[in-house]
């Protein structure tokens, strides 16, 4: 199978992100496909081709996945299947379509050191959702963040602030391989798990572990996560832990939405969260 050109996918995503923003800004007038394509300076034909290359489906199909009615429906369907998923996920490694994710939190002593003595390698690369930063320690991936509004410094600062005592080394060569392992389905067969090395409190770690149990194409509410970690009244604390998830996509915080069905509040941009939601819905359809 041909290798996917992620620089092309990253460029496609930038236009798709602008198209989603245009649709949201003009939702009341229900813009036509011609108008949406024109907003990103493409013909309807080229816009349709770009969308199918990126998402595998047409823009019209994709927009159906992004309606409030669809997200509410998926929330209801997912909740009816949650018991089995969470029971399985919390007792073993998280399953993300064909990916297995395992992680270890820092010991209390390591947490207190704030990464002192740790060497972190990092680099930027293209992905299906734009430019992203990946960072690793010898024990696993410790950060995956998407670049917002072409500001690499913001996502780099997120990494530095999480590990203030660590030493950092720029090494972009391995990160493209990691992205390919994450996003190419054919790369996921017969491969080793993704190991994550995370810095967080016990509560945060428990929340992030719960997120690993949400399969691709499903969504849950913040209340659902609070209930399944045995803290049903700690909804705000759960939301705060989700908001600072350090590893995008592999820890799928984008699959948690408001109880109303609204898709918003994402560390790397609400529009990107909607794009992730629609992209996974298309892959799971």
The pLDDT value given to residue 13: 93
The token pair that represents 131 in the structure block = 């430019």
- Looking at the structure, tell me whether residues 251 and 184 fall in a common domain: yes
Set 120, 159, 253, 282: catalytic member: 253
State yes or no: is 142 an active-site residue: no
Distances (CA, A) of 101 to 51, 58, 89, 151, 176: 29, 31, 11, 28, 18
**What pLDDT was estimated at residue 81?**
63
For the record, the structure tokens of 215 come out as 């399969």
Q: Given this model, what pLDDT does residue 94 score?
A: 43
Q: Is 1 inside any structural domain?
A: no
Residues 123, 49 share a domain: no
**242 and 211 share one domain:** yes
pLDDT for the residue 82: 63
- The answer to whether residue 17 is domain-embedded is yes
Phi, psi of 63 (to 5 degrees): -65, -30
Q: Check whether residue 85 and residue 192 sit in a common domain.
A: yes
pTM of the prediction? Answer: 0.88
Judge contact between 172 and 213, C-beta under 8 A: no
- Residue 12 belongs to a domain with what CATH number? 1.10.10.60
How high is the pLDDT of residue 66? Answer: 80
| pLDDT score recorded for residue 97 | 40
Whether residue 12 sits in one domain with residue 140:
no
Look at residue 95 in the predicted model and tell me its pLDDT.
Answer: 43
Q: Residue by residue, what is the 3-state secondary structure of the chain?
A: CCCCCHHHHHHHHHHHHHHHHHHHHCHHHCCCHHHHHHHCCCCHHHHHHHHHHHHCCCHHHHHHHCCHHHHHHHHHHHHHHHHHHHHHHHCCCEEECCEEEEEEECCHHHHHHCCCCCEEEEEEECCCCCCEEEEEECCEEEEEEECECCEHHHHHHHHHHHCCCCEEEECCCCHHHHHHHHHCHHHHCCCCCEEEEECCCHHHHHHHHHHCCCCCCCCEEHHHHHHHCCCCCCHHHHHHHHHCCCECCCCCHHHEECCCCCCCCCCCCHHHHHHHHHHHHHHHC
Residue 26 falls within a domain, yes or no? yes
The rounded distance, in Å, linking the Cα atoms of 244 and 39 is 33
Per the CB < 8 A criterion, the answer to whether 229 and 181 are in contact is no
The verdict on 254 and 125 lying in the same domain is yes
178 occurs within a structural domain: yes
Residue for token digits 């072409």? 150
Q: Are residues 146 and 175 in the same domain?
A: yes
Residue that has been written with the tokens 């199978």 in this structure: 1
Six-digit token string for 206 = 């428990």
Say how far apart CA 33 and CA 274 lie, in whole Å.
Answer: 18
Count of domains forming the chain: 2
Q: Is the CB of residue 147 less than 8 Å from the CB of residue 124?
A: yes
Residue 199's domain comprises 69-284
| CATH code (residue 223) | 1.10.10.10
How high is the pLDDT of residue 74? 84
Provide φ and ψ at 104, rounded to 5°.
Answer: -125, 140
Residues 89 and 141 in one domain: yes
| 6 and 182 Cβ atoms separated by less than 8 Å | no
**What pLDDT is recorded for position 107?**
77
Divide the 285 residues of the chain into consecutive groups of 10 and give the mean pLDDT of each group: 72 92 84 92 94 89 84 80 56 46 78 88 95 95 92 93 94 90 66 85 92 88 93 96 96 93 90 93 83
């Amino acid at each position: 199978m041909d290798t996917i050109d992620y620089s092309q996918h990253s460029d496609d995503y930038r236009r798709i992100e602008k198209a989603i923003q245009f649709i949201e800004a003009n939702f009341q007038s229900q813009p036509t496909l011609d108008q949406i394509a024109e907003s990103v300076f493409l013909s309807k034909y080229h816009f349709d081709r770009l969308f199918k290359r990126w998402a595998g489906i047409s823009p019209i199909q994709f927009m159906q996945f992004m309606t409030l009615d669809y997200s509410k429906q998926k929330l209801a369907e997912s909740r009816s299947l949650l018991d089995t998923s969470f029971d399985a996920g919390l007792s073993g490694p998280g399953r993300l379509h064909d990916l297995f994710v395992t992680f270890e939190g820092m010991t209390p002593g390591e947490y207190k050191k704030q990464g002192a003595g740790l060497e972190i390698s990092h680099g930027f690369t293209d992905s299906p959702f734009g430019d992203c930063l990946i960072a690793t320690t010898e024990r696993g991936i410790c950060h995956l963040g998407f670049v917002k509004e072409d500001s690499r410094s913001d996502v780099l600062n997120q990494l530095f602030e999480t590990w203030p005592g660590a030493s950092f080394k720029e090494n972009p060569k391995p990160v493209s391989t990691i992205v390919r392992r994450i996003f190419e389905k054919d790369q996921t067969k017969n491969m080793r798990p993704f190991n994550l090395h995370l810095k967080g409190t016990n509560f945060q770690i428990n929340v992030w572990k719960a997120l690993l149990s949400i399969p691709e194409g499903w969504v849950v509410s913040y209340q659902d996560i609070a209930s399944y970690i045995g803290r049903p009244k700690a909804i705000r604390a759960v939301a705060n832990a989700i908001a600072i998830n350090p590893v995008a996509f592999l820890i799928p915080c984008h699959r948690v939405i408001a109880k109303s069905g609204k898709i918003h509040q994402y560390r790397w941009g609400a529009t990107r969260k909607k794009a992730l939601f629609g992209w996974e819905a298309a892959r799971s359809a």
